[in-house]
């Protein structure tokens, strides 16, 4: 839902949906999915120029993926993190 809202140009609605999804996933203990949503929320933060928030979401997502030993997605947060850092878009 949040990804669709974001693609339709509704970033505030998307952010709200990501926040709701994170709370739900935390409540039911779905850690890998939580990490994926954090990554997507980080992308939204980055697109809004909120680079410090994006970096935090990328870091948290990476840690969750590493803790889960999920090799499938573990490089994605690093790629986004490097993008923010190399572009000099951080605090």
- Which residues, including other chains, have CB under 8 Å from residue 14's CB and lie 6 or more apart? 2, 3, 5, 6, 44
Q: What is the pLDDT of residues 5-33, one digit of tens each?
A: 988 999 999 999 999 999 999 999 999 89
Q: What is the pLDDT of residues 55-89, one digit of tens each?
A: 999 999 988 888 877 665 555 655 665 666 666 55
* 35: pLDDT strictly greater than 80: yes
Question: Which pLDDT belongs to residue 86?
Answer: 64
Q: Give this prediction's pTM.
A: 0.78
């Amino acid at each position: 839902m949040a990804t669709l809202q974001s693609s339709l140009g509704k970033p505030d609605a998307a952010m709200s949906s990501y926040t709701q999804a994170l709370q739900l996933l935390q409540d039911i203990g779905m850690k890998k999915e939580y990490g994926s949503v954090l990554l997507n929320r980080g992308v939204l933060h980055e697109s809004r120029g909120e680079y410090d928030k994006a970096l935090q979401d990328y870091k948290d997502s990476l840690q969750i993926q590493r803790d889960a030993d999920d090799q499938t997605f573990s490089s994605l947060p690093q790629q986004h993190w490097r993008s923010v850092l190399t572009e000099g878009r951080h605090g």
